Structure 1
Amino acid sequence: MRILVVGAGAVGGYFGGRLLEKGVDVTFLVREHRQKQLQQHGLRIESVHGNINATPKTIQTGDEASPFDVIILSTKQYHLEGALQSIEPYVQQDTMIWPLLNGFRHLEVLKQRFNEENIIGGLCFIETTLDHNGTIIQTSPRHAALFGELSGEKTERIEKLAEVLSGTKTNFILSEHIIRDTWHKYMFITGLSGITTLMRSPIGPIREEKNGQKLILNLFKEIGSVMRANGAQIDDDIEEKHLETVNQMTYEMKSSMQRDMEKGIQVEADQLQGYIYEIGQEHGIETPFLEVIYSNLKVYESQNKVKNL
C-alpha cells in the first residue's frame, strides 16, 4: 500500500515518520524549503516514545508519481484549499483520502471536491511542534490517530489499511463510529483552545482558579447544546468526560492554538470556534462563552499582522 502524506510538519511528519519507521511505502508531498531540509537532515523526530532519523521520499506539487492508495491530510484548515489543489493529480478512483484536521467543516469541503467514496474519516490526539531546524518535537503520552469509514462499516479496504498501520510505534485505531468521534474531538479541541487562548494560560492555572472547573464545563456544555441541535450523535455525558480529560492533563499543557498565538501566526478561529458559533446562530441558540472566545480570537487576528505559515 502506497501512502502520500501532505506536508511533513508536526502532525503529518510524526505519523508518516512512524509508518516510515515500520517500513511502509510513504512519500511526503512538501514545499521546496521543507524538501531541502529533509534531503539535508532527514526526517527527525524527538519523541517521548522514541526518536527517529529517517531519509524520506519526497515530491513537490506537480511532480509525477505512481498512484497512491492513501493520502493523509494534516494541514491547518486555512491551508486546506491549497492542499486539495496539490493532491488532485494523485487522487485515483480507489484512493482513500484520510484527513487528520481539527474541526468538522473540512469533511463538507472534501465531499464537495471529491467523490464521497474517496473519503474516510479521521482525527488524531497528539502534542507536537516543529523547532527552528525542522525537527518534530513530540511530548505527549498520547499519540493516536483514528480512522474509519464514514458509514461505520468494516469494509475490505479499511481492514486492509488497518493491517498496514498495525505494528507501528504509535496508536492507529480503527473506529466504527468515526463521525461521533470527530464531533467529540471537535468539542474538546474547541473548548480547550478557546479557554487557553482567552486566558493566555496553560490549562493548569485555569482549572485551579476558583471558577475554573465551572467555566470549562459550561463551555463544553454550550458547545454540546449546539452540536445536539445540529443533529450530532454525541454521548450524553461527553462534556463531563472531557472535563475529566482536562483534569488529567499536565499543569503546563498549552493548546496548539495558544502556541500559535504566542508565535504571532494564524489561528483556526473561523474553522473551530467560528463554525460552531455560526451553527448556534442558525438554530437561535445563545452561546455567550463562544461569542467572547471567538471575538477574542478575531481581535487577535485584526491587531496582529499574523504570519500565514
Structure 2
Amino acid sequence: MRILIVGAGSTGGFFGARLAQAGRDVTFLVRPGRAAALRAHGLQIISPHGDFSIRPTLLCAEQLDQPFDLIILTVKAYALEQALEDIAPAVGPDTVILPVLNGFRHIDRIAARFGQHTVIGGVCKIIGSLDAQGRIVQGAKINEVFYGELDGRRSERLQRIDAALSNAGFTTRWSENITQDLWDKWLMLASLGCINSLMRGTVGEVASTEAGLTFANALIDEIARVAQASGHGPSQAYLDQTRSALTLKDSPQTSSMYRDLQAGQPIEAEQIVGDLLLRAQQANLSTPLLAAVNAHLSVYQQRLR
C-alpha cells in the first residue's frame, strides 16, 4: 500500500517515521522549508520507546502527479483547506483519506471536496512537539491510532488499511464506532483546551482553586450536553474519566492549543471551540462558559491577523 503522510510535524512525522521504519511504503508531503531541513538532517524522533531517525521520502505539492492508496492527513485544522488543494493530484478513484484532525468539521469538508466514499474516520493520541532543531520529541509513551468506516461496517478496504498500519511501533485499533470515538476525543480536547486557555494555567493550577474547579466541572458539563444533543453523548464512565483527569490538583497537563496560544502561534479555536458553540446554538442550548472561551480566543486570533 502506497501511503502519503501529509505533514511531518509531531504527529505525522512520528507515525510516518514508525511506518517507514517498519518497512512500509511511505512518502511525506511537506513544505519546501521542512523538506530542506529533513534532507539535511533526516527525520529524527526522540521517544521514551527509543530514539531513532530515518531518511524520509519527500515530496512538495507541485511534485504530486499520481494517486496514492492511503492519504493520512495530520495537519492542523486551520491548514485543512490548503492541504485539500495540495493533495488533489494524489486522490484517485480508490484512494482512502484517513484524517487525524481534531473536532468533526474536517470530515464534512473532505467529503465535500472528494466524495463521502473517500474519507474514513481517524483518531490519534500522542503527546509530542518539535524542538528547536526540528526533531520530534515524544513527551509520553502514548502513541495510538484508531480508524474505522463512518457507518461502522467492516469493509475490505479497512482490512487492507489495518494490515498496513498494524505492527509498526505504535498501537492501532479498528473501531466499529469511530464517530463516537471522534466525539469522545473532542469532548476531552475541547474541555482541556478551554480550561487551560481561559484560566491561563495547567489543569492542576486551575483545579487547586475553588473557583477554577467549579469552572472546570461546569465547562465539562456544557460540552457533554452539546455532544448529547448532537446524538453522540459520552458514556457515564468516559465522562467520569474525563472529569477526573481534568480536575487533578497536581496535574501539569496542558493542551496543544494552550501551548500554541502562549507561543503566539495560530490555534484551532474555530474547529475545536467555535464549531461546538455553533452546534449548541443549533440545538438551542445555553453554553455561556463555552461562549466566553470562544470570545476570548476570537480576540486572540483577531490580534494575530
CA distance in 1, matches of 2:145, 2:274: 25
| Structure 1 residue 22 displacement after superposition | 0.8
Greater than 4 Å deviation, 4+ residue runs? 247-250
- CA-to-aligned-CA distance 1:128-175 (integer Å, 9 cap, x gap): 111122111111232111111111111111112111211122112211
2:255 matched residue in structure 1:
255
The 5 Å alignment of 1:101-140 reads 101-140=101-140
1:299 aligns with 2:299: yes
1:16 matched residue in structure 2:
16
2:87 matched residue in structure 1:
87
CA distance in 2, matches of 1:24, 1:211: 50
Which amino acid letter does the alignment assign opposite residue 199 of structure 2?
Answer: M
Name the SS of the counterpart of 2:58 in structure 1: strand
| Structure 1 residue 232 displacement after superposition | 2.5
Contact (CA 8 Å) 1:217, 1:240: kept in 2 or not? no
Name the SS of the counterpart of 1:194 in structure 2: helix
Contact (CA 8 Å) 1:217, 1:239: kept in 2 or not? no
Gaps of 5+ in 1: none
1:167 matched residue in structure 2:
167
TM-score by length of 2: 0.95
Which amino acid letter does the alignment assign opposite residue 278 of structure 2?
Answer: E
2:57 matched residue in structure 1:
57
Distance 1:38 1:69, change over 3 A: same
| Structure 1 residue 5 displacement after superposition | 0.3
Which amino acid letter does the alignment assign opposite residue 271 of structure 2?
Answer: Q
Contact (CA 8 Å) 1:8, 1:30: kept in 2 or not? yes
1:155 aligns with 2:155: yes
Name the SS of the counterpart of 2:61 in structure 1: coil
The 5 Å alignment of 1:95-244 reads 95-232=95-232, 234-244=234-244
| Structure 1 residue 66 displacement after superposition | 4.4
| Structure 1 residue 234 displacement after superposition | 3.6
Q: Which moved more, 1:8-17 or 1:140-149?
A: 140-149
CA distance in 2, matches of 1:166, 1:269: 32
Contact (CA 8 Å) 2:152, 2:176: kept in 1 or not? yes
Which amino acid letter does the alignment assign opposite residue 118 of structure 1?
Answer: T
Which amino acid letter does the alignment assign opposite residue 109 of structure 1?
Answer: R
CA distance in 2, matches of 1:213, 1:195: 10
TM-score by length of 1: 0.94
Contact (CA 8 Å) 1:62, 1:89: kept in 2 or not? no
Contact (CA 8 Å) 2:46, 2:137: kept in 1 or not? yes
Gaps of 5+ in 2: none
Q: Which moved more, 1:230-239 or 1:143-152?
A: 230-239
CA distance in 2, matches of 1:142, 1:216: 24
Distance 1:134 1:215, change over 3 A: same
Contact (CA 8 Å) 2:266, 2:301: kept in 1 or not? yes
- CA-to-aligned-CA distance 1:173-219 (integer Å, 9 cap, x gap): 21111000001111111110010011111212122322444432321
The 5 Å alignment of 1:267-286 reads 267-286=267-286
Which amino acid letter does the alignment assign opposite residue 121 of structure 2?
Answer: G
Contact (CA 8 Å) 2:20, 2:26: kept in 1 or not? yes
Contact (CA 8 Å) 2:199, 2:212: kept in 1 or not? no
Contact (CA 8 Å) 1:21, 1:52: kept in 2 or not? no
CA distance in 2, matches of 1:17, 1:250: 34
* TM-align CA RMSD: 1.7
CA distance in 1, matches of 2:70, 2:29: 13
Which amino acid letter does the alignment assign opposite residue 197 of structure 1?
Answer: S
